[in-house]
Amino acid sequence: MQKLYNNKYNIVICGDVIVNYLMDNNRKSQTDAVLHSYNLMGIVEFPNRFGLTSQTAIDNVFIDISTMGNYELYPLINGLSDHDAQILILYKEQKKEKECYTYTKRKINKYTIADFQLNLSYEMW
């Protein structure tokens, strides 16, 4: 992770991590501790592996939700294996443009008043 991590890039890690994210256990806590140190968080909250008597979420997707913005994650039942796939849709955030204001200031002192009066004297009313 140290070689991959860079603040300039968005990282998405996905795959069969063999950690059941439907249950709290020591293995999940250890995996989360390492990934959280890189601001990554598991986002799969539904079963994606089905046995005869069990359901687990051992396939996960890890993203930095603070920089990725909005996302959607769906299960995709493919019927090819005992693991279902996931579809991740990342929405690109639109950066708000800063509002720009223009202010006009006039410096008023005895010199600017004299200049104003001089310019007025040239006007043909």
* Segment 36-64, tens digit of pLDDT: 888 899 999 888 888 888 888 888 999 98
pLDDT at residue 4, as a whole number: 73
Predicted confidence (pLDDT) at residue 96 exceeds the cutoff of 70: no
Q: What is the mean pLDDT of residues 65-76?
A: 84
Mean pLDDT of 26-40: 91
Tell me if 64 sits within 8 A of 74, measured CB to CB: no
**Is pLDDT of 94 > 70?**
no
pTM of the model: 0.66
**Residues 6 or more apart whose Cβ sits within 8 Å of residue 74:** 86, 87, 89
